[in-house]
Amino acid sequence: MGSSHKTSFINDRLNFIEKRGLYRSLKIISVIGSTATVDGREVIHLCSNDYLGLSQNRFVITKTIEELHEVSQCSSRLIAGTHRRVIELEDLLAGHRRTESALVYPTGYSANLGVVSTIADKRSTIFSDELNHASIIDACKLSGAKIMVFRHNDADHLRELMRKVQGRKIVITEGIFSMDGDIGNLCEINRLANEHDAITIIDDAHGDFVFGPGFSGIPAKLGIDVDIHVSSMSKALGCFGGYVATTRSIRELLINSSRQFIYTSALPDHLCGASIAAIRIAKRGHLQRSLRWNITYFTSALKRRGFELISSSSQIIPIMVGQEEDAVEFSRQLLTEGVFAQAIRYPTVKKGHARLRISLTAMHRRRHLDAAVDALERAAKKTDVL
């Protein structure tokens, strides 16, 4: 009885979440190429960040198995040492991003936490785009710095805010925004940062290995130099882990000061080998061409059916719904039509800005895209979205 009383607030919170259409549950899923078995039924998969399909590439899988001599190092790199594969991967990533060095983290989330909380402190002011990823928001809070949020991609608002601040400044934004799919206004934002002698941090997890010369991301695509790149190996590379690409001195500071690097286990060697293998394939460019064709074909088809898209510049295509309950029902109806696309709701996006987040991959074939568009139209009409 005492235990039930002590934890009664938990059920109250769950009820509060459920009443507002924000309750989340885990679905059992098994992915097979561009389709998946969801709760026992095969459907078209439109939720994957495996943009180039490399998580299922036979060469990558074979190389990963060949590297699998131990499951994990079971300790941090500063305690148990660094495997040569990690250094090889970091050298590849630094060359890929055209920086002096790179440092691998276990996840992209921890990479953001690690770099921001190390570079910023209570004497700093961070200027953060309002649509930045949760890992960036959490990193800013963890740093203890003063945080000033500028309107999404609004360089004029950023300029206005920066004029009011003295001292150390840090500007952080994204290459491609993970929920809207639009490209960051990096040229203007980076120019402002340079004018104010501010450090620029760009999270380019969704643009990396997809856009730019050498597929080295959005800053390269736009022809700008930034101070710190943060990215992930679990998106276009189809692997696992995160990384920071930057100067040698910042890398050394992270090794010596970043708690997210010092006090966590190293990325396993076989996962480093997987990324090394995936990079070789990603650099060829044929998968990106397939993905670009899919983006153009799919977004054009949606527009012809009457869908209004807020962005069609990347593989992330949000279909706006509005109310949380409506988005959940739209997603449920779509699943009955044979397509898996999750409803994205608060706190991932603002209240009243719920949507279905569709992400395309190079694995989708025209028949998948045609069937998905038909299903989206039927589900949208059933739920009054269209």
Same domain, 133 and 66: yes
**Dihedral of CA 307/132/224/236: which sign?**
negative
Q: Which of 260, 282, 304 is the last residue before a domain boundary?
A: 282
Same domain, 36 and 169: no
Residue 12 lies in a domain: no
Q: What pLDDT score does 1 carry?
A: 43
Same domain, 270 and 294: no
Same domain, 272 and 289: no
Full-model pTM: 0.94
Same domain, 236 and 265: yes
Same domain, 41 and 84: no
Angle in degrees, 0-180, between the axes of helices 286-304 and 366-382, rounded to the nearest 10 = 30
Considering only the C-alpha atoms of the chain, give the largest distance between any 2 of them, rounded to a whole number of Å.
64
b/e string for 227-264 if b means 16 or more Cβ within 10 A?
Answer: bbbbbbbbbbbbbbbbbbbbeeebbebbeeebebbeeb
Same domain, 100 and 170: yes
Which CATH number characterizes residue 336's domain?
3.90.1150.10
Residue 102 lies in a domain: yes
Neighbours of 7 (CB within 10 A): 10
Contact status, residue 95 vs residue 229, Cβ threshold 8 Å: no
Domain that holds residue 75: 58-282
According to DSSP, the β-strands at 354-359 and 124-129 are unpaired
Residue 83 lies in a domain: yes
Q: What pLDDT score does 98 carry?
A: 97
Q: How many domains does the chain have?
A: 2
d(CA 254, CA 244): 9
Residue 53 lies in a domain: no
d(CA 220, CA 382): 43
Residue 3 lies in a domain: no
d(CA 169, CA 279): 34
Angle (CA) 179-185-188 rounded to 5° is: 160
**pLDDT tens string for the chain (386 positions)?**
445 788 999 999 999 999 888 999 888 889 888 999 998 889 999 999 999 999 999 999 999 999 998 899 899 999 999 999 999 999 999 999 999 999 999 999 999 999 999 999 999 999 999 999 999 999 999 999 999 999 999 999 999 999 999 999 999 999 999 999 999 999 999 999 999 999 999 999 999 999 999 999 999 999 999 999 999 999 999 999 999 999 999 999 999 999 999 999 999 999 999 999 999 999 999 999 999 999 999 999 999 999 988 877 899 999 999 999 999 999 999 999 999 999 999 999 999 999 999 999 999 999 999 999 999 999 999 999 88
Residue 171 lies in a domain: yes
Q: Which of 282, 310, 328 is the last residue before a domain boundary?
A: 282
Residue 302 lies in a domain: yes
Same domain, 83 and 129: yes
Write the Ramachandran bin of 47: left for phi over 0, alpha for psi from -120 to 50, otherwise beta. Answer: alpha
d(CA 265, CA 270): 14
Q: Which of 231, 262, 282 is the last residue before a domain boundary?
A: 282
Same domain, 66 and 190: yes
Residue 378 lies in a domain: yes
Q: Which residues contact 271 (CB under 8 A, 6 or more apart)?
A: 64, 233, 239, 240, 241
Residue carrying structure tokens 């009885």 = 1
Backbone angles phi, psi at 115, to 5 degrees: -75, -40
Same domain, 80 and 133: yes
Cis before residue 347, ω within 30 degrees of 0? yes
Which CATH number characterizes residue 78's domain?
3.40.640.10
- Enter the tokens of residue 169: 């400044």
Residue 231 CB-half CA count within 13 A? 31
Contact status, residue 318 vs residue 177, Cβ threshold 8 Å: no
Angle in degrees, 0-180, between the axes of helices 248-257 and 108-119, rounded to the nearest 10 = 100
Same domain, 260 and 341: no
Residue type at 37 in one-letter notation: T
Q: What is the 3-state secondary structure (H, E, C) of the chain?
A: CHHHHHCHHHHHHHHHHHHCCCCCCCCCEEEECCEEEECCEEEEECCCCCCCCHHHCHHHHHHHHHCCCCCCCCCCHHHHCCCHHHHHHHHHHHHHHCCCEEEEECCHHHHHHHHHHHHCCCCEEEEEECCCCHHHHHHHHHHCCEEEEECCCCHHHHHHHHHCCCCEEEEEEECECCCCCCECCHHHHHHHHHHCCCEEEEECCCCCCCCCHHHCCHHHHHCCCCCEEEEECCCCCCCCCEEEEECHHHHHHHHHHCHHHHCCCCCCHHHHHHHHHHHHHHCCCHHHHHHHHHHHHHHHHHHHCCCCECCCCCCEEEEEEECHHHHHHHHHHHHHCCEECCEECCCCCCCCCEEEEEECCCCCCHHHHHHHHHHHHHHHHHCCCC
Q: What pLDDT score does 3 carry?
A: 54
Same domain, 153 and 251: yes
